[in-house]
Structure 1
């Protein structure tokens, strides 16, 4: 049966414990700031004006993937990439975004949601330089709510247990690309997707 009302949903799921509701804050606490400075990976969720969604991973060395402007604003740098800019195009239509900040080996995560804007320069861009390269853009997020999320999903998935990893369960990135775009040369793809080659274009 399809669930179509909040009442039906609550009948199955129940209601959150008061502490789960009360942990949500409208501004960054010092522990949130410490987390953001330690994390090397953020997932950014955006939506266009019609509600079509996109989630994009943003990764950099810890301390470079999120800049804390103040307790109500963070900035996520943009580096050279595939130039699709799906999330940025969404933000131009709908500024509301959600983020999840991840620290490898930790099951808990930090969620920051708010309204975003795109900037092409700011006084903190130099602080976000990696290998001498400043960001090409940054997404500034005005914090609406921030809270920690528990570790159940990571525990269920055993994500951080190397003995559960199966990276060879699927073909290489080059072979997957070849399957989707048969006209491309597989040998050229294999070379292009080698990590040593790919790393040349990170910054």
Structure 2
């Protein structure tokens, strides 16, 4: 059976608890700021004419710079130059972040609007290995709240005993070969470690 109305969906669930409502605020509280500044990783979600995009962003803790309680800056590091997320932001400024801290089961959800900057005054403090990012994403926060720990507890994401070794899972080269017949997966995988090191920043 399909659920195709708000009323039908809400009828399946109970009332929203008080804590689930009061935790949502329009800017960073000191507690929420502490999580942002401790985070080395987030997932950035954007929307554009071609559809939705979710992409990982990561660097040492503090890479999500808090400019003030309503404004964040995320540097855009070197990558594959597809710039899917940035293209989306130019056309639709709505963005969402899922901020994570290793070992902490709660995550932080931030919704807002983004703009792309090339301002050296904003980008130079984000330099790594002497290289400032070409652009940065400035996010104006509209809402922020923490997500309870159930999903990470269920998934055992931070549990060392649940760690999965690569084993028989496909390598990056094998995944490329699966997308394009005849792709030289072995050569790609052999060169990948050195290429990642040389192009990290």
With normalisation by structure 2, the TM-score equals: 0.94
Name structure 1 gaps, 5 residues minimum.
none
Name structure 2 gaps, 5 residues minimum.
none
Cα distance, 1:189 vs. partner?
0.8
Cα distance, 1:199 vs. partner?
2.1
Cα distance, 1:10 vs. partner?
1.2
CA distance in structure 1 between the partners assigned to 2:49 and 2:183 by the alignment: 35
Q: Indicate yes or no: 2:139 matched with 1:141.
A: yes
Moved more, 82-91 or 8-17: 8-17
The verdict on how the C-alpha distance between 1:192 and 1:14 changes in structure 2, with shifts beyond 3 A counting, is farther
Cα distance, 1:49 vs. partner?
4.1
Cα distance, 1:184 vs. partner?
2.1
CA distance in structure 1 between the partners assigned to 2:96 and 2:74 by the alignment: 12
**1:68-83 superposed matches below 5 A:** 68-83=66-81
C-alpha contact (below 8 Å) 1:191/1:197 kept by paired residues: no
CA distance in structure 1 between the partners assigned to 2:46 and 2:15 by the alignment: 27
Cα distance, 1:44 vs. partner?
0.4
Q: Which residue of 2 aligns with 1:186?
A: 185
**1:151-162 superposed matches below 5 A:** 151-162=149-160
The alignment covers a number of residue pairs equal to 200
Q: Which residue of 1 aligns with 2:200?
A: 202
Secondary structure at the aligned position of 1:189 is classed as: helix
Q: Indicate yes or no: 2:8 matched with 1:8.
A: yes
With normalisation by structure 1, the TM-score equals: 0.93
Over aligned residues, Cα RMSD in angstroms? Answer: 1.5
The verdict on how the C-alpha distance between 1:38 and 1:112 changes in structure 2, with shifts beyond 3 A counting, is same
Q: Which residue of 1 aligns with 2:114?
A: 116
